[in-house]
Amino acid sequence: MKKIASILLTAGLSLSVILSGCSSGSSGTGSPETGASASGSASAGAGSGGGDEITLYTIQSTNPNFQAWLDEAQEKSGVKINWIAAPTDSDTRQQKVSTILSSGDDTVDILEINDEMATSFKNSGWLEPLQDTVMTDDILSQFPQGYMEDMLTSADGDIIGVPSYSGYLALWVDQKKLDAAGMTSIETEEDFVNFMKASTKDGQYGYGGSWEKTYVFNEIATFVNLFGGDYFDWTNEGSRKAVKFMYDMANTWKVTPVDQIADKYEQMNQKFIDGKYAMVFMWGTGTDYKQANRYGKDQIHMINMPKFATRSIFTDSWSYVLNAASPNKEAAVKFLKYLASEEGELNGWTNFDRYPARADVAANPAVSGDVKEIYSEIQATNEVHGRPMLPQTMEFISEIGTLFQNYVQDKITLDEFCEKAQEAVERYK
């Protein structure tokens, strides 16, 4: 009976990750959507040979600077790193990670996982606790405490990952459109609405969203926080105001298109680059905009969050975790210690444009530029939250997303949305 229950648990978790797709990883934090097919080669082929040698399941292998990052990581850690490229498609990638961990596959030692996977896996027993070996108190104290507690700490208090960066779901604006609207900043809810309305004309919109059912979670939760609501309490007036505000954007003010319910971040981002949108909420440090020559204070750039009821922002990361089935744990811990070190975090900043998660490394003069300037302003003025997730992460995210899509398409009322959303909270918590 116990075995049957275990199989059912594994199947359920596998289904949950198949549905996944809303992570900031798929949202371009740095460049985590750049993995090639799962059969990617390695510096010495997949599968490690013991000793100071491991196999890394990575989302970064097609990043142009991956080899430079890898060379430095191997040199500084003293560990030979074979690697396997994670699939580009988020659904396929998460299904494969789930299969590797749930099946006890020991050919992979270290994996990169996003917040959704961390929430689903941290209590599964599939990941090796790191608090006694890698994330010791002196190291842990440098990482964002709220994020570590919310996302990477199990119910038993085990720490299961090393964050590779800190990424904000920040507000990005097209400066040319802000100038055209005769505005210099977006500080309040009124500014936000005025800018959307002023920028909506000639087939262009004031706001661009990624409202595909498994992605819209991030925006709903952002507006809930801005209105002072509670994502787990849909009787809260702030929560109701948030979704009503999004409904009004699409249907009352018509400053964002309803048909973006099919868009994930890739589609939304391209439209923003093409000038269709005046502002979006987006993860990362602007890699896509830089590559499109659309980045800069006179073009697309990050600004501080406006203050509605509150000034609030989400942070996320992809994290490195140790497969509990790994036969090379000593070498894997050695590599993880490097990743959690100042050198490891600076390597990620230099080669992957990932903002360091460690506070002391972020303060290092080697980390500079306008991103550091705006990140510092956000840190000083915003409530910084980890995203609200439940153990059955993707089932919950997908259900709320479906309800939201029905609401903005007038298939259900606001009261029906809130009632059904609260039922989903109770069902999946």
pLDDT digits (tens, 9 = 90+) for 139-155: 999 998 878 988 899 99
Q: Which residue, among 169, 161, 214, has the nearest Cα to 383 in the 3D structure?
A: 169
**Segment 19-37, tens digit of pLDDT:** 333 444 333 333 333 333 3
pLDDT beyond 50 at 397: yes
Question: Span 93-109, mean pLDDT?
Answer: 94
42: amino acid identity, one letter: A
**Segment 200-248, tens digit of pLDDT:** 999 999 999 999 999 999 999 999 999 999 999 999 999 999 999 999 9
Question: Span 105-132, mean pLDDT?
Answer: 95
| pLDDT higher at 390 or 407 | 407
Percent of the chain clearing pLDDT 90 (strictly above): 75
Residue 37: Cβ within 10 Å count: 14
pLDDT range class, residue 46, cuts 50, 70, 90 = very low
| pLDDT higher at 9 or 323 | 323
Q: For position 280, what pLDDT does the model report?
A: 98
Q: Which residues pair with 83 in a beta bridge?
A: 56
Q: Which residues pair with 277 in a beta bridge?
A: 205
Q: For position 89, what pLDDT does the model report?
A: 79
DSSP string covering 114-156, please? -HHHHHHHTTTT-B---TTTTS-HHHHTTS-HHHHHHHSB-TT
Residue 16: Cβ within 10 Å count: 24
Helices marked H in 145-214? 145-151, 175-180, 189-199
Distance in angstroms (rounded) separating the CA atoms of residues 219 and 122: 25
Q: Which helix (H) or strand (E) element contains residue 404?
A: helix 393-408
Q: For position 228, what pLDDT does the model report?
A: 96
Distance in angstroms (rounded) separating the CA atoms of residues 272 and 205: 10
pLDDT beyond 90 at 50: no
Only one residue has tokens 């750049």, namely 34
**Lowest mean per-residue pLDDT among 73-87, 109-123, 261-275, 369-383:** 369-383
**CA 302 and chain centroid, separation:** 17
Q: For position 61, what pLDDT does the model report?
A: 94
Distance in angstroms (rounded) separating the CA atoms of residues 153 and 130: 10
pLDDT beyond 90 at 269: yes
pLDDT range class, residue 79, cuts 50, 70, 90 = very high
pLDDT beyond 90 at 2: no
Percent of the chain clearing pLDDT 70 (strictly above): 88
Question: Span 82-94, mean pLDDT?
Answer: 88
**Lowest mean per-residue pLDDT among 44-48, 112-116, 324-328:** 44-48
Residues 321, 111 contacting (CB under 8 angstroms): yes
**Segment 120-144, tens digit of pLDDT:** 899 999 999 999 999 999 999 999 8
Q: Which helix (H) or strand (E) element contains residue 173?
A: strand 170-174
**Segment 326-377, tens digit of pLDDT:** 999 999 999 999 999 999 999 999 999 899 999 899 989 999 988 899 998 9
The reported pTM is 0.76
Distance in angstroms (rounded) separating the CA atoms of residues 248 and 77: 53
